[in-house]
Structure 1
Amino acid sequence: MTTHPENTIPALQEAVRLGAQMIEFDIQLTKDGALVLMHDSTVDRTTDGKGKVADLTLAEIKALDAGGKLDKRFAGTRIPTFEEALAVFPKNVWLNCHLKGGADLGAATAKVIEKAGRKHQAFLAAMGPSAKAARAAVPGILICNMERQGGSLEYAKDTIAMKAQFIQLLGKGEVPVEAVKMLNEAGVHVNYYHDETPEGLRRQWQAGVDFPLVNDLGPAIPVAREFGIEPLK
């Protein structure tokens, strides 16, 4: 979301307010094993601090300003833990938890989801090792296969074979119609990143994509309504 500091509570709350049906955010492990929301491997771009997330403790990360760089009205915004993020979500929106790490992160995130009673709505967008560890820690945890983010039939077939519930296609506007059809028939939810032009959104929904991922939800709502998709209440 470009209007609010990414991976922060204000951004998540705004997505909920606008009626997003799926909200994507990124999760990493701190030096002392806490789960925090952060896209980059370092805090440099989005905060007033420096250093790798993996080299900082939770206390050090909590001391950073994660909002002032975007807009002074967000000054003082802190990096949330995964648990803090879960607390602001209603229980009827899909939670796209993009894991930025390996097996330890997968297992830890799955356990938090189970403890919070969010297994029905939260899924892990994960590579092989983290997905495998998550499933071992919490059988039945929902998985989005991120092993290949292109639009190949091989990617679709592998996703179906591993019994993942989601796939995340990556493209610049071209939608792999044959692969999407196969996934639809197998009951796999299809996410697509990234083309949020009105024409691109129409192309995705017409092809059978379930969830186009957008940075700015507001402009996408009128196009969604053309397909009978209303903001979530």
Structure 2
Amino acid sequence: MKDGPPVSAPGPLRRLSLAAACLAGVASLALVSLNPLAEEASATAAPALAGAPRSAVQSASTAASAREEVLINEDFGTRTTIPGGWTPKSGTWTVAGGALKQTSPKGTTMLTFGQHLDDFRIDATLSFDSAVNDSRWVGLGLDVNPAGTSPWSHAAVRRVSTASNGLEFANRLPSNSWSVVAASPAPRSVADGNPFDVSIEVHGTNATWTFEGRQIQTTQSLQRTGNGVLGLIMDQATASFRRITVTQLPPRPVIPLVEPGHTGLAIGHRGNPKAAPEDTLVSEVQSHRLGSAYMELDLHLTKDNVPVVMHDDTVDRTTNGTGRVDGLTLAQIKLLDAGVKFDPAYAGTKVPTFEEILQYAQRTGGSVMPELKAGWTKDQVRIVTALVQKYGLQSHTVWQSFDPVPLKYAYELDPSIARAGLVSGSLPADPVAYVGAFHGQALLPATALVTPALMRTMHAAGLAVVAWTADTPGDWAKLTTAGVDGIMSNSVGELIGWMSRYNQ
């Protein structure tokens, strides 16, 4: 994105202090490794699920017309056996006394059920029966490995629910370590045998926790996979589930509209470029794990027509090579070092292909916001569109461009992939008509162009506004007051931390 001078490359101490600031601002979010080699290995180690379709993929134009559908509605007061397709993986599970029960307090126990869903709500009435100690928990698995092993994500309630971490969203990582991404106390205690109601709504990596009708907390950092199912999970505890309902929901708008004074989406600009080299896999992974709603990136085609992630027309600024991207083959570009100029600690970092980013997004449930460069032909847009389709990420992609022509091509090739128009310098005479010309969903203006009047105009037309690029709390506050639906920042970790404090 053309937003002025490139982000300067900090030295090792500055890089670490910036990273520490990000993490301090998002203490409740996932911890992010700043080891470039470990991070890149983590991002690429799991096998890609090439071509595996996502469930509930809907077009941007038809999503609004979708309806809720109840997929599971189990009242265990009317059952005497475990429902078909509900599979105990560990522990002792039975239906008795009007409830589905797990009766072994040893270790972590799990039962899986249902199908993979991107957008859903799970409602349950449950109670603790016992726990080894007050910190033990019972959880609703939101994206669980069908094998019953890590990774998974869940919404858990502790026996002492009024503790500061009594209710939490947590990710069990492939390494079998934990990442707690949100934690809050419950409004009341849940003593043994005392039933309580919970409701968890999930849209991709975003989730909202409601306890007995009261919204408690949200997260943008739920760990998602391409094939995870639902589950019930307990840690050294026993519990009874009286009722479980699963409702498939329509996908949220790719960029939900917010009211003035409410925070919108946080999006890392070119990844996490103050802590890692811009537009690299390690930078995008850091941004995603910090909670960025989209992995924002720039695309160019190599001489042999392979889309790679790089902002500039040439490789000169960000790598140890020289030459235009479209004058080099992929093999030549893969020989370049995209990290050493930023910081020697990142030496050996490679220029990623767009496909490598999509593979990571598919494995983790991430979303991408790639920029189509001005002047692209329909055949060039066709190449990147085919890759998004290959990985079933249509509902997790927003094309952006300063040039409306490639966005028109994108609409013609696949209208289910959302489109957003970048603007700088000055606004179009009619911003709504400008976005309408490519059947878009959003306008992405430079920060200085955002006004309350623009927000009223765009929202009245049902169109979102994401401002770029804002890096200070003062700018974040002004944009939030104006009512922007998202903020793009070079300091996404700090932005998310600021949003968390703002919403307290």
Q: TM-score, normalised by structure 2?
A: 0.43
Using the TM superposition, name which of 39-48 and 91-100 deviates more. 91-100
Partner of 2:478: 203
- Would you tell me which structure has more helix in proportion to its own residues? 1
One of 444, 457, 471 as aligned partner of 1:168: 444
- Structure 1 runs (4+) deviating above 4 angstroms are 90-93
1:9 corresponds to 2:281: yes
1:54 corresponds to 2:326: yes
1:202, 1:67 → 2: CA distance? Answer: 33
Q: CA deviation at 1:108?
A: 1.5
Q: CA deviation at 1:148?
A: 6.0
Structure 1 stretches lacking a partner, 5+ long: none
Partner of 2:370: 97
Partner of 1:143: 419
Q: CA deviation at 1:153?
A: 5.5
Q: Which has the higher contact order (CA 8 A, sep 6+)?
A: 2
Using the TM superposition, name which of 97-106 and 59-68 deviates more. 97-106
Deviation per residue, 1:96-155 (Å, 9 max, x gap): 111125123322212211121111010110222211222222232211123666445522
2:327, 2:339 → 1: CA distance? Answer: 21
Structure 2 stretches lacking a partner, 5+ long: 1-272
Return the index of the structure with the highest Cα Rg.
2
Instruction: Decide whether aligned partners of structure 1 residues 153 and 129 sit closer, same or farther in structure 2, where only a CA change above 3 A counts.
Output: closer
Is contact 2:419–2:442 with CA below 8 Å preserved after alignment? yes
2:315, 2:306 → 1: CA distance? Answer: 15
2:398, 2:408 → 1: CA distance? Answer: 13
Is contact 1:156–1:179 with CA below 8 Å preserved after alignment? no
Q: CA deviation at 1:93?
A: 4.3
- Equivalent position SS for 1:120: helix
Q: CA deviation at 1:56?
A: 0.5
Instruction: Decide whether aligned partners of structure 1 residues 94 and 211 sit closer, same or farther in structure 2, where only a CA change above 3 A counts.
Output: farther
One of 128, 132, 144 as aligned partner of 2:408: 132
Aligned alpha-carbon RMSD (Å): 2.1
What code does the residue aligned with 1:176 have? Answer: T
Is contact 1:193–1:214 with CA below 8 Å preserved after alignment? yes
Using the TM superposition, name which of 60-69 and 88-97 deviates more. 88-97
Q: CA deviation at 1:94?
A: 3.8
Q: CA deviation at 1:179?
A: 1.4
Partner of 1:190: 465
Using the TM superposition, name which of 123-132 and 80-89 deviates more. 123-132
* Number of equivalences: 228
1:218 corresponds to 2:493: yes
1:49, 1:70 → 2: CA distance? Answer: 14
What code does the residue aligned with 1:77 have? Answer: T
Partner of 1:88: 360
Is contact 1:160–1:186 with CA below 8 Å preserved after alignment? no
What code does the residue aligned with 2:445 have? Answer: L
One of 265, 290, 302 as aligned partner of 1:30: 302
Partner of 2:179: none
- Would you tell me which structure has more strand in proportion to its own residues? 2
2:289, 2:488 → 1: CA distance? Answer: 17
- Equivalent position SS for 1:26: strand
2:366, 2:484 → 1: CA distance? Answer: 17
What code does the residue aligned with 1:95 have? Answer: V
What code does the residue aligned with 2:488 have? Answer: L
What code does the residue aligned with 1:43 have? Answer: V
Q: TM-score, normalised by structure 1?
A: 0.89
1:175, 1:168 → 2: CA distance? Answer: 10
Partner of 2:344: 72
